[in-house]
Each structure stands twice: as C-alpha cells, then as structure tokens.
Structure 1
C-alpha cells in the first residue's frame, strides 16, 4: 500500500529526515525521566482495553454499516448531502478515546495546547516557542479562510501522490470537495484529468516544498509541517522573505523562496503527528523523540488532521501493489514500484493496518481503492 512519504523512499538507504535530525540536533536529544507524561498515559490507557478492542483501542469487529444511533442520525439524508460530524462520529464508534477538538493550525494560543508543549519537533513545539510566536505575529491568520470556516459541513479529500491515481480520471470528482489537500511538491498542472485543479492547502516540510515559484497554485494555503527544530528557522526565512543562510541539517536541497504572503501561510498542529504515531498506529514512543520507525507519513498525518476538522473525509492516491514492480510509484513520474526501499523513519506495514481500519469501518472513503 502506498502511503505518502515525509521522505523519499527510493535512492536512499533510509529516511534522511530522521538521520539529519540526529546528526544536526543531537544536543536536543535527551531522554525524559520522572513522572509519566500525559501522552505516555494516553498510550498506556490505549493498551488497557477490553477483549473487544485491539491494543491501540480500536474495535476488533469493524463493520461498514452504521451503528443504530448513527443510522438514525444520518440514514435519511439524501445521497451526496454532507453529513455533519460524520467522520468524528464514525471514528468514535470504533475508537472510543477519540476527541474531535484539535485545531488544524497553530494560533496565538498555541502555548496552551498541553499535548504539544512538552515535546520536541516533530511531536511538539518545545524549544521553538519564541520563533513560532514571531512567525504567527507576522502571518496573523489561523484558519482556512472566511468562506470555508463558515461552512456548517465540510467535505475534505486528501490527494496522495501514488501511481494508482494515474489514468483514473478522478479530477472532476476530486474538485467537488470543499477542501482539497495536497502533499509536498505533487504537481497539478499537467495531470488535471486525474488529480483535479483545485488545491485548498498544500502540506509540506522544507525538503518537500516546491522549489520553482511558477509551480505553486495561485490561491492555495501553504501549510508547514515541522519534523526537526531547524525547520522552523527555514519557515521564518520564508515568511519574512529573508535570505536562507546555509542548508546544514537538511537532508536534501530546500526551497529558497515561497511565493506566498504571510497571511497565506500556516503551521500544522504537531499534535496530529503525535496522535497518528503513538495512539492510532502504535509506533515506538522513544521518550517522545524522533527515532527509527516512529514517524508517520505525511499522508497519514493529513488524514488524522482531517478526522478532527472535517465532517466527511475521503482519500485518493493511496496504496501500491508490490506484486506489480513495473507499475508507476507516483502519478507524475516514471519511477517504478520496484524502486521502493525500506524506510528508516516509517513503519509502512503498521500504517497500512491503521488506514485499513478506517476504510473498513467507512470512517474514510478511498476513491482509488488502494488501501
């Protein structure tokens, strides 16, 4: 199954995001001793469950049909009508610990978000409070925009980069969603028939950001996701249009300029990385630090964000078939499936298990049926 990388799988023996982090920021890496943190407690609670739930706290017997209370609420709505609160309600029915309230982006109250303040990037904001304050003072905007924020029901789609999108002609269907989320530098211009034309927001990190200004869509939000402390310094340079001084600490070249006004830039809430990794997927906690196999892919992070902030959630472009080594890995290039190498930071098998739960229980809809 193809999950959206927060790094490139091929041409590298392991994910260089994590490697660069340890090379450049080893001074930040300190084990946390003392009392059990709030997050660790959440993780432990998830493992003390009844026989009807798995070790992460998900219902073992998953069904597509709605439980009686949700069938009463949503069963009589017309086909195609947005179902308010549907994704969160379905998620809660299979994962009782799910709490919908989690803002999509950091705002001026970000220091009050208890679940992120005690953890370093990518799981939190520790050591980065001052620079985040500085950035948010300049960007001033913290939502999707007046029109979308005022919608009583939002239908969102996460468009992955997988080759499974190629020649599916899903473009017009993707464009019907209220919020269209794209990841890293996946192009749109030459692939409109398959991937659509609409981009509401594009989530990326420094190494994944589009490097050619002309390839940016004219009206999309630039949404930044940090995986290491130096990423915030890069974002500050982009927001304030400052010259980037050196690229030490990045695992590949990064954009020197982002053609967006500060008001069109956002910081993704790192809670979604944390929740996806430790509560939904069950990756190693590693004292709350980035380590081998404990970083979720950006695609799964985006889905986690959507579960909290959208009423209906769909995906397209997720999933790959390793039995077809000559199939395209991405919809926009000729690299084949056989080029995939083992990832140092991700655990693809465990992510696959998590996303299949969501699809099987109809929490999310998979348009390309690759999950």
Structure 2
C-alpha cells in the first residue's frame, strides 16, 4: 500500500518537470504565446506609430484650412504615441523654478541641485523669463529647430524657415552668408560655453541667448556674461569671454529637457543621475524636446547624421567630415536617431530635410 503514494508522487513530479521544461524552453525561445502582446516599446512609445490621427484629433484638426496652425497639435499627437507625456514644462527657468520637482533632485546637466544661489543671482539680473510679448501672446506657435547638419546645404529652405514663429538655432551655426539655405531669422540660440560664438560679430541682433548648462561651471560662465565679469578658467576648450547681449536677452534653458530626452525618450543609462559615458543627448534633441512642450507645431531641418557616408559634410558651414562623429564619447547617436525617427514616423514633427 506504501507504493501507491510514491507512484503518485513520481507521476506528479514527472508532470511538474515536463511542464517546467516546456515553460523554460518557451521562455528561452520567447514563445510566450499566452503572454499578452505589449503595445509599447521599452521607452513607453507605441510600437505601431500609426499614420492615422486618433478619431478625436481627426475631428479637431481635420477641418482646419490647409496651412493653418493647429493649436495643441504636437502635445496631443505626442500623448497619443507616448501616454506618459505631460505638456507642462516651461522653456526657461523663472523665479518659480524651485517648484519644478524633477530638476531639483538632479545635479547638472539633468537638474539644478547645488546651483540655486547662482541661478537666483542670474535670474534677478535678467528679470525676463519667457519669449517676447508678441510670441507669448500667440494662440498657436509654429516652431522650427534648425540643426547644423550638412544636409541643409543647397536646399534653398531659407525663406521657408523664416516663415516660422519661433526659429531655434544651436551653438555656432552661422546665419550670415548662408541665408538662402538656413534663413535669416533667429528667435533663440541655445548653446553652452564651449559651443558659443567667440567673436561678437557673429551674434544676431534681437535673438535670445539661451544657456543649456551641462556642468556647474556653465552657470558660473553665464553669470560672468551677464555681469560682464572676468572669465574663470576650467573649460575643455577656449570659450567666449563676452556675449554682446543685454541681461534681459539671456535665458537659462530648463534642464528638464536634458533629463527627459536622456532617460525617458532615448533610454540612455542613468549613471546615478551623473554625466557619464553615452548618457548625454545632443543639443539638437534637447531643443526638439523643449519644442514638444512649448510649441503647437514643430518642424526640424538640418538633422540626421549619415554615419554610413563618412565623407559627407558634418555641418553646412565647414568642411569637417561625417567620420569625426564616430568618436563621440558623450552621445549615443544611433539611439537618438531611433527616438527622432519615432517622432517623424508618427508625424509629431516634420523633417524638412529628410535626414532623420
């Protein structure tokens, strides 16, 4: 009689082992047939980036006359493909920046931790924290982020670019002499100390000078530019020692856009929230992230690195070749491209030079 339970136990054990083996094999081969198929990638974006607008957006934007600005379009489209998207993120730091929880927990470049006192000094001097009155009053803002890519050359997009309400330019990309291709209007130029024009003559009149701070030293530098003080050392290359702008025309870009682009959108390594290998987005992607939160429609031009074409020009204004990009320590170009492609595919942004 003692044999029966033993047989039963062996039988059950065999079944458990067989089931275990089947389950393990299926897991190994990713044959989780019974697991629900996920709709989102690991970043939280829809896998199926439909060309079609969701019905409620179709209703809202379908009847607008061709070419009319679509209020709220980018945020609505973004939320449709990335449900975690929250529109509220001011372009520049203002005197309420300490209420922005997400940037107070991180050191630069992802936040403002340890930088309060210097930021307060800068903001007290600049006294202005937004775009100009006219742009702030627009019910619908169309923005273009002009990248520095060689893909911009000989496209004659200048007058088209100038037709946007807000024209964002980056670092030392010149306008003078290239107007036919890149336009002549600059609303804001986003840069950091090592990326800023060193010769005052290159600065356009009437544009905002916007600092994107990557390290504590960058805030010190901006303070020196605001108060026209003598420059401290400690940069990885020579930097501008004078910016021909009044304090009222200087701004600090909200570092939340660096944080969101890096950790949420692109999925770069967090490195405990510190700047490190391959975890900093390019300034272009940071500017696009800023536009997603602050514009109703967003276009880009001059974006996209064709790393398969090492002899292509990297920038529209100098003969440096694409091959130099392969050596980038701070950026992850392929992951970044993946993110920008999602935006283009889902028609969140329009790529005028088809480089992404």
User: TM-score normalised to the size of structure 2?
Assistant: 0.89
Residue 274 (structure 2) aligns with: 289
Residue 55 (structure 2) aligns with: 68
Residue 340 (structure 1) aligns with: 325
Deviation at 1:312? 0.1
Residue 342 (structure 2) aligns with: 357
Distance 1:50 1:85 in 2: 31
Residue 219 (structure 1) aligns with: 206
Distance 2:254 2:307 in 1: 33
Residue 275 (structure 1) aligns with: 260
**CA-based RMSD:** 1.1
1:122 and 2:109 matched: yes
Q: Deviations over 1:170-204 (max 9, x none)?
A: 00000000000000010000100000000000000
Distance 1:209 1:338 in 2: 23
Which has more radius of gyration?
2
Listed as ranges, the matches of 1:13-24 within 5 Å are none
Listed as ranges, the matches of 1:202-351 within 5 Å are 202-245=189-232, 247-248=233-234, 250-351=235-336
| Contact 2:307/2:326 (<8 A) preserved | no
Distance 1:70 1:282 in 2: 28
List alignment gaps of at least 5 residues for structure 1: 1-48
Aligned residues: 321
Distance 2:227 2:306 in 1: 43
Greater length-normalized contact order (CA 8 Å, ≥ 6 residues apart): 1
Distance 1:282 1:341 in 2: 20
Q: Secondary structure at the match of 1:132?
A: helix
Distance 1:76 1:113 in 2: 37
Q: 2:147 aligns with which of 160, 170, 188?
A: 160
Deviation at 1:50? 7.0
Residue 98 (structure 1) aligns with: 85
Deviation at 1:60? 0.3
| Contact 2:307/2:325 (<8 A) preserved | no
Q: Deviations over 1:32-59 (max 9, x none)?
A: xxxxxxxxxxxxxxxxx97000011100
List alignment gaps of at least 5 residues for structure 2: 1-35
| Moved segments of 4+, more than 6 Å | none
Q: Deviations over 1:191-241 (max 9, x none)?
A: 000000000000000000111001100110000010001111000000011
| Contact 2:150/2:313 (<8 A) preserved | yes
Distance 1:323 1:275 in 2: 28
Distance 1:154 1:350 in 2: 29
